[in-house]
């Protein structure tokens, strides 16, 4: 009986195994049903009444419009270095450093936020940050400690920044700056340019220092205009025109396009900039250009 | 014949003049008109070039590439995707990728082109890519916002256009709706504007834009089959996961973060670039009505927004000499997500099936032993 049982079982299980082995390949390469299907996210197309925020002053239409923005809760305490509050504040430090140290051969960008904290101090918001900044022409990086104060209340005054960096300003730009200065200070050959970079991201090599200078000069505006709900970059030098050198300063008129990330707006500014190796970059005048809604090219542009 | 001769002389002169301005790496004469393989994927292409390129991809790879027109833009242009995969008798799972929902983000369509070229170039020799081409179909839309993209090529003053090109209504004279605020995903609630001049104008209603409707329609038809949804943008060097609302997490948030962080590591391994991973409300700003949120809401488990290079130095006008490295790193990131998606669907299923069958076999053996 046992012997018969065993052999029957063996044959039987071998048959099953054979069947399974035949079946498995086809099933495995067929169409599996994917398990995760139910979402418990917010209901699609719900009719909840949105939060609304009062109109900003520069709206030009007469119909009622709304900026539907979630009131951003101001973070206090330790900040997550990869989250936006630290990044926005760090970008303000970047603008500050460029106003202090930038030149046609020195342009600084935020590389990394290591740590940060924020707190309410009287009516103001105070940030402390540990950052790595990078000077992008020489590719030298440095560690920076910074403190910012965003003013509270209604008045739109600029944030106050203090920063100290190690190793960031190592690159020796003296020779290049001096050469650039000497090349352009004489009156007989005023330089101008436009669309820097162009649509393809290109620029002539001799335009690059003017691009850097435009970026540094824009930092004065970007610093002044920054708050906890902005993130500015210079998108392009639309055009620049060199003017006569005065008091040993190179003078340049710029029209720049700034990109403000949180609104995604492109904002036009004109600025009058002076520079020399000794005096550094100074911005004498700034003028916000009006946004021209009706200046758009007609539709049906052919490709 | 003489015209041809003059023309080619002119072309050479033009290309010599152009070369100095472009800072080309190699010293060979470089011309914008060249369509040789080596140069093509290191340049930006206008819409008619991309359309011609799609035809070329089909012609050169007829057994794996087909195209589908799945909608029309406001200005009545075709919205076309390439469907890429080894043909199969059974219905296949899918990966969705779209580029260029925002017109000025030119690096995005460039990446879609690069991605297509790369999988076509490697699927015969790379066993993993081959396996994925066998098990999956890739649905890739190189340019979603065709009208906006064409407009951004019009001249320097239109280069930084973002939205679609539908006209405003009700006395508002500006053009365009932000297509990535127009989806039926808690439309109109957060991070949008009802001012048609605004860059975040979300439209008169959800899916008012035919481009958003086209994607919605396709995703709806394919929702059972799509395993991952990737939408490509610039700039910022980020990988965004759903949802755009600050107080809501996707049910598989941990998985999305884990896969996203893995993709960011894969990206960094290529050229050292840091990409930040997180929900939009955490690392950028809150907003609703996005295609990414819509995809997640209808049940596509893995939904990512890529924000490619750079971090603000050039912004939207990324130099052409950065197209290749950007695409290489983004490809590594996308492949990480796609491989995870594929293996989760096909290997964990196989593991489950095998385990089930062996358990069944064992149970049957045991029960028959008892019976007998």
The tens digit of pLDDT for each residue in A143-179 reads 999 999 999 876 678 999 999 999 999 889 999 999 9
- Poorest-confidence range of A35-39, B96-100, B166-170, B332-336? A35-39
Find the residue in A nearest to B195 (Cα). Answer: A65
B329 annotated active-site: no
Contact yes or no for B165 and A201 at CB 8 A: no
* B107-122 helix and B47-60 helix, angle to the nearest 10 degrees: 10
d(CA A107, CA A98): 6
Average pLDDT of the segment spanning B95-120: 98
**Tens of pLDDT along A188-231?**
889 999 999 999 999 999 999 999 999 999 999 999 999 999 99
Alpha-carbon gap: A257 to the closest alpha carbon of chain B (Å): 10
pLDDT the model gives residue B309: 98
Per-residue pLDDT for B11 more than 60? no
Q: 3-class DSSP state for residue A12?
A: helix
Backbone dihedral region of A300: left (phi > 0), alpha (psi from -120 to 50 degrees) or beta? left
pLDDT band at A39 (very low <50, low <70, confident <90, very high): very low
d(CA B149, CA A165): 42
Looking at beta carbons, which residues of chain A come within 8 Å of B159? 199
Looking at beta carbons, which residues of chain B come within 8 Å of A265? 199
> Within 13 A of B145's CA, how many CA atoms are on the CB side?
31
- Poorest-confidence range of A181-185, B33-37, B104-108, B212-216? B33-37
Stretch 26-65 of chain A: residues touching chain B, C-beta under 8 Å: 27-32, 34, 36-46, 48, 50-51, 59-63, 65
Provide, rounded to the nearest whole percent, the portion of chain A with pLDDT above 90.
66
Contact yes or no for B316 and A235 at CB 8 A: yes
Helix-, strand-, coil-residue percentages of chain A, each rounded to 5: 25, 35, 40
CB of A10 within 8 Å of a chain B CB? The answer is no
Alpha-carbon gap: B213 to the closest alpha carbon of chain A (Å): 15
Would the pTM count as exceeding 0.90? no
CA B172 to chain centre: 32
Average pLDDT of the segment spanning B266-280: 98
CA distances A26 to A18, B227, B361, Å, are 14, 21, 18
- Poorest-confidence range of A28-32, A68-72, A274-278, B307-311? A28-32
Contacts 24+ apart (CB under 8 A), B132-135: B132/B338, B132/B339, B132/B342, B133/B64, B133/B84, B133/B85, B133/B86, B134/B85, B134/B86, B134/B88, B135/A29, B135/B92, B135/B93, B135/B342, B135/B345, B135/B346
pLDDT the model gives residue A80: 96
Contact yes or no for A68 and B191 at CB 8 A: yes
Looking at beta carbons, which residues of chain B come within 8 Å of A15? none
CB of A175 within 8 Å of a chain B CB? The answer is no
- Kindly provide the b/e burial profile for residues A194-221, where b requires at least 16 CB atoms within 10 angstroms of the residue's own CB: ebbbbbbbbbeeebbbbbbbbbbbbbbb
| Average pLDDT taken over every residue of chain B | 90
**Tens of pLDDT along A85-108?**
999 999 999 999 999 999 999 999
Q: Backbone phi, then psi, for A134, in 5-degree steps? A: -130, 130
Contact A102, A216 (CB under 8 A): yes
Per-residue pLDDT for A141 more than 60? yes
Contact yes or no for B191 and A59 at CB 8 A: no
Name, in order, each residue with C-beta under 8 angstroms of A267's C-beta and a sequence gap of 6 or more. A257, A258, A259, A260, A288, A291
Choosing among A70, A261, A299, which should be mutated to test the B contact, i.e. which has the most B CBs within 10 A? Answer: A70
* Site of tokens 């196989």: B350
Contact yes or no for A109 and B311 at CB 8 A: yes
pLDDT the model gives residue B6: 58
Contact yes or no for B171 and A45 at CB 8 A: no
pLDDT band at B213 (very low <50, low <70, confident <90, very high): very high
pLDDT the model gives residue B103: 98
Residue with the bigger pLDDT between A20 and A228: it is: A228
**Tens of pLDDT along A51-79?**
322 233 333 333 455 666 666 677 789 99
Write the residue in B75, B170, B243 that is nearest to A299 by C-beta: B75
Among B183, B200, B196, which Cα is nearest to B297's? Answer: B183
d(CA B164, CA B181): 11
Joined tokens for residue A249: 């300063």
Contact B209, B175 (CB under 8 A): no
Per-residue pLDDT for B319 more than 60? yes
Looking at beta carbons, which residues of chain B come within 8 Å of A38? 251, 299
pLDDT the model gives residue A48: 30
Looking at beta carbons, which residues of chain A come within 8 Å of B187? 45
* Site of tokens 């140069």: B39
Name, in order, each residue with C-beta under 8 angstroms of A275's C-beta and a sequence gap of 6 or more. A103, A104, A213, A249, A250, A252, A281, A282
CA distances A155 to A71, A227, A253, Å, are 19, 12, 29
Looking at beta carbons, which residues of chain A come within 8 Å of B75? 299-300
d(CA B101, CA A188): 48
Contact yes or no for A236 and B317 at CB 8 A: yes
Per-residue pLDDT for B368 more than 70? yes
Residue B321 gets which letter from DSSP? G
Contact B300, B228 (CB under 8 A): yes
Contact yes or no for B156 and A195 at CB 8 A: yes
pLDDT the model gives residue A169: 92
Looking at beta carbons, which residues of chain B come within 8 Å of A9? 365, 368-369, 372
Average pLDDT of the segment spanning B195-199: 94
d(CA B129, CA B131): 5
d(CA A163, CA B78): 53
Provide, rounded to the nearest whole percent, the portion of chain A with pLDDT above 70.
72
Q: Backbone phi, then psi, for B104, in 5-degree steps? A: -75, -5
Provide, rounded to the nearest whole percent, the portion of chain B with pLDDT above 90.
80
Among B225, B264, B263, B232, which Cα is nearest to B340's? Answer: B263
pLDDT the model gives residue B363: 74
Contact yes or no for A65 and B91 at CB 8 A: no
pLDDT the model gives residue A76: 87
pLDDT the model gives residue A58: 35
Write the residue in B93, B285, B315 that is nearest to A235 by C-beta: B315
- Kindly provide the b/e burial profile for residues A122-151, where b requires at least 16 CB atoms within 10 angstroms of the residue's own CB: eeebbbebbbbbbbbbbebbbbbebebbbb
Contact yes or no for B322 and A201 at CB 8 A: yes
Average pLDDT of the segment spanning B221-237: 97
Per-residue pLDDT for B35 more than 70? no
Contact A239, B321 (CB under 8 A): no
Average pLDDT of the segment spanning A275-284: 97
- What ipTM goes with this model? 0.85
Choosing among A49, A68, A88, A92, which should be mutated to test the B contact, i.e. which has the most B CBs within 10 A? Answer: A68
Looking at beta carbons, which residues of chain A come within 8 Å of B296? 39, 41
Contact yes or no for B246 and A70 at CB 8 A: yes
CB contacts < 8 A (A, B): 230
Residue A294 gets which letter from DSSP? G
- Poorest-confidence range of A16-20, A173-177, B33-37, B162-166? A16-20
Average pLDDT of the segment spanning B116-135: 97
Alpha-carbon gap: A213 to the closest alpha carbon of chain B (Å): 13
Find the residue in A nearest to B181 (Cα). Answer: A68
Name, in order, each residue with C-beta under 8 angstroms of B356's C-beta and a sequence gap of 6 or more. none
Looking at beta carbons, which residues of chain B come within 8 Å of A91? 312
Contact yes or no for A61 and B153 at CB 8 A: no
Choosing among B206, B315, B320, B363, which should be mutated to test the A contact, i.e. which has the most A CBs within 10 A? Answer: B315
Write the residue in A36, A200, A263 that is nearest to B301 by C-beta: A36
**Residue B171: Cβ within 10 Å count:** 9
pLDDT the model gives residue A102: 98
Contact B310, B318 (CB under 8 A): yes
Residue A106 gets which letter from DSSP? B
Active-site residue, from B131, B307, B317, B320? B307
Contact yes or no for A201 and B158 at CB 8 A: no
Contact B196, B178 (CB under 8 A): no
Alpha-carbon gap: A132 to the closest alpha carbon of chain B (Å): 13
Contact A42, B151 (CB under 8 A): no
Per-residue pLDDT for B96 more than 60? yes
Average pLDDT of the segment spanning B296-309: 98
Q: 3-class DSSP state for residue B123?
A: coil
């Amino acid at each position: 009986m046992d012997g018969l049982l065993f052999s029957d079982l063996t044959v039987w299980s071998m048959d099953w195994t054979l069947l399974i082995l035949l079946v498995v390949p086809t099933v495995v390469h067929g169409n599996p049903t994917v398990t995760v299907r139910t979402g418990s996210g917010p209901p699609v197309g719900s009719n909840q009444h949105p939060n609304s925020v009062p109109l900003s002053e520069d709206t030009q239409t007469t119909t009622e419009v709304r900026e539907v923005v979630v009131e951003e809760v101001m973070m206090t305490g330790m900040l997550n270095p990869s989250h936006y509050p630290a990044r926005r504040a760090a970008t303000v430090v970047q603008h500050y450093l460029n106003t202090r140290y930038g030149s046609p051969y020195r342009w600084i960008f935020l590389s990394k936020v290591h740590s940060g904290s924020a707190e309410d101090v009287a009516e103001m918001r105070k940030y402390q940050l540990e950052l790595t900044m990078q000077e992008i022409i020489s590719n030298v990086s440095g560690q920076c400690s910074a403190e910012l104060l965003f003013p509270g209340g209604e008045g739109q005054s600029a944030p106050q920044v203090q920063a100290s960096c190690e190793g960031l300003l190592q690159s020796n730009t003296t020779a290049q700056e001096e050469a650039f200065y000497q090349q352009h200070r004489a009156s007989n050959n005023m330089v101008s340019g436009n669309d820097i970079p162009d649509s393809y991201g290109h620029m002539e090599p001799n335009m690059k220092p003017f691009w850097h200078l435009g970026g540094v000069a824009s930092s004065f505006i970007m610093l002044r205009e920054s708050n906890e709900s902005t993130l500015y970059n210079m998108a392009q030098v639309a055009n620049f025109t060199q003017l006569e050198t005065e008091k040993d300063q190179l003078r340049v008129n710029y029209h720049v396009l700034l990109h403000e990330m949180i609104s995604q707006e492109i904002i036009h500014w004109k600025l009058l900039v002076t520079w020399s190796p000794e005096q550094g970059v100074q911005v004498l005048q700034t003028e916000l250009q009006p946004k021209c809604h009706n200046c758009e090219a007609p539709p049906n542009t052919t490709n | 014949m003489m015209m041809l001769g003059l023309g080619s002389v002119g072309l050479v002169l033009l290309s010599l003049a152009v070369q100095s301005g472009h800072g080309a790496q190699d010293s060979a004469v470089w011309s914008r008109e060249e369509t040789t393989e080596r140069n093509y994927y290191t340049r930006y292409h206008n819409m008619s070039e991309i359309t011609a390129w799609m035809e070329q991809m089909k012609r050169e790879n007829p057994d794996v590439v087909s195209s589908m027109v799945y909608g029309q833009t406001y200005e009545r242009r075709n919205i076309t995707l390439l469907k890429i995969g080894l043909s199969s008798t059974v219905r296949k799972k899918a990966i969705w990728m779209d580029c260029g929902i925002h017109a000025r983000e030119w690096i995005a369509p460039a990446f879609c082109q690069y991605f297509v070229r790369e999988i076509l170039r490697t699927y015969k020799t790379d066993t993993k890519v081959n396996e994925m081409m066998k098990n999956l179909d890739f649905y890739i839309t190189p340019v979603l916002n065709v009208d906006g993209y064409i407009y951004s090529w019009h001249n320097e003053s239109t280069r930084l256009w973002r939205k679609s090109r539908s006209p405003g209504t009700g006395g508002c004279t500006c053009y365009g709706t932000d297509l990535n605020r127009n989806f039926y995903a808690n439309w109109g609630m957060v991070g949008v504007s009802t001012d048609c001049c605004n860059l975040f104008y979300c439209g008169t209603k959800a899916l008012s834009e035919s481009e958003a409707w086209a994607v919605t329609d396709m995703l709806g038809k394919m929702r059972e089959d799509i395993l991952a949804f990737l939408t490509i943008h610039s700039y910022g060097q980020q990988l965004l996961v759903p949802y755009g609302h600050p107080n809501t997490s996707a049910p598989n948030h941990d998985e999305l973060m884990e896969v996203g962080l893995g993709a960011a590591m894969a990206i960094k391994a290529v050229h050292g670039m840091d990409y930040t991973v997180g929900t939009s409300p955490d690392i950028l700003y809150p907003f609703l009505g996005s295609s990414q949120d819509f995809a997640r809401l209808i049940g596509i488990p893995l939904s990512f927004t890529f924000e490619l290079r750079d971090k603000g130095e050039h912004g939207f006008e990324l130099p052409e000499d950065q197209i290749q490295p950007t695409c290489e790193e983004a490809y590594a990131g996308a492949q990480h997500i796609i491989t995870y998606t594929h293996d989760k669907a096909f290997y964990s299923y196989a593991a489950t099936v095998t385990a089930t069958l062996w358990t069944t076999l064992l149970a049957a053996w045991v029960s028959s032993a008892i019976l007998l």
